[in-house]
Structure 1
Amino acid sequence: MLTDIIRKDLEVLFCGINPGLKSALDGHHFSGRNNRFWKVLHQAGFTPYEIDPVNDATILDSGYGLTTAVARATTRADELSKDEFENSMEAFKSKMIYFRPKYIAFLGKAAYLAFSGKKQISWGYQAEDFCGAKVWVLPNPSGLNRGFTLSDLISCYKELFQQLKL
């Protein structure tokens, strides 16, 4: 199981769909060899250097945190059932209300689609708040997500980073 890296009143809480098997085994977020999260986060401006997954807790120093929508680790996020999202929703909402992040950045559309009840969403900023937080939907940085190049990911994440500076 992967532990949240979270505290109250974070600027952004990055929410992965669920842990990958390697991350769950290592106990560190985004530790898969091909996961691009840490590289993208740094190159988009969120962190002053590329954080090594074993130092994932240092993300708190920048005002950001990490959680997942569903706790069960899988090889691929599409292995999760609709029921698993539904069964995770109340605990996730309680966590958001308690920790009060300014933004929740869902990494991939799956969790936000399930939690919002919407049939379709676009990338980027969402018009409705979620448990009092502004919502941004970013492409999943998994190495399995080949629909987005590294450059595409950096561009999408940079949009959120620039929004924070306004």
Structure 2
Amino acid sequence: MSETLVTSVDTGRGLPDLLAPGLSVVFCGINPGVRAASTGHHFEGRGNRFWRVLHLAGFTPELIRPEDDRTILRYGCGLTTVVARATAQAAELSREEIEMAGATFRAKISHYAPHHVVFLGKMAISALSGSRDIQWGPQVDLFGGVRAWVVPNPSGLNRAFDLAALVTAYREVRTAVVSMP
């Protein structure tokens, strides 16, 4: 897959989307962390386990450093966020702010049409779907015409899931991606 960088509609944001049409999977964070937005690289935070989990789950053959985040496109994966505004913690976002970003986000997913969209945590998909009863794993309903998944957020602030539990959840997605015709 060729490296294609497509920035979000909001060109003033510090963290560009890494998207291309027809990717196997797009990982979706709720919003950028302050450090990620200031450096312009996804999952830059010191305690964030995303890159390690992604590698251990089999999405990448090597451990990607945050400053090399654009290389993820080589492996059929993309990165985006629902809300563009950076915060120290996602809890700083209101449900209304997430809901307001929903139409634009859903249109973005429909436009790029990945095979799977993977929400990192339940907060965003809960606000976007209007459902508080979100389960981990594959979702029954499509999101923007795409198969949707919910996996635990790899943020260092989320200590409810250790590294092994994160890798198991992400590996389930990887298995589905690989087995898809």
- State TM-score, norm by structure 1: 0.98
Q: CA RMSD in A?
A: 0.7
Give the deviation of 1:164 after TM superposition: 1.3
Q: Does 1:81 align with 2:94?
A: yes
Aligned to 1:54: 67
> Distance in 2 between the 1:10 and 1:61 partners?
10
Give the deviation of 1:60 after TM superposition: 0.2
When you count strand as a share of all residues, which structure comes out higher? 1
Which of structures 1 and 2 has the larger relative contact order (alpha carbons within 8 angstroms, sep 6+)?
Answer: 1
Aligned to 2:46: 33
Measured against aligned partners, the alpha-carbon deviations of 1:27-54 in whole angstroms (never above 9, x if no partner) come to 0000111100000000000000010000
Deviates more, 1:116-125 or 1:137-146: 116-125
- State TM-score, norm by structure 2: 0.90
Give the deviation of 1:86 after TM superposition: 1.3
**1:14-163 to 2 correspondences below 5 Å:** 14-163=27-176
Q: How many residues align?
A: 166
Give the deviation of 1:80 after TM superposition: 0.3
Q: Report the 3-state secondary structure (helix = DSSP H, G, I; strand = E; otherwise coil) of the residue aligned with 1:165.
A: helix
> Distance in 1 between the 2:139 and 2:96 partners?
24
Give the deviation of 1:119 after TM superposition: 1.9
Give the deviation of 1:125 after TM superposition: 0.4
What stretches of structure 1 move > 4 A for 4+ residues in a row?
A: none
> Distance in 2 between the 1:65 and 1:53 partners?
13
Give the deviation of 1:131 after TM superposition: 1.1
Give the deviation of 1:127 after TM superposition: 0.7
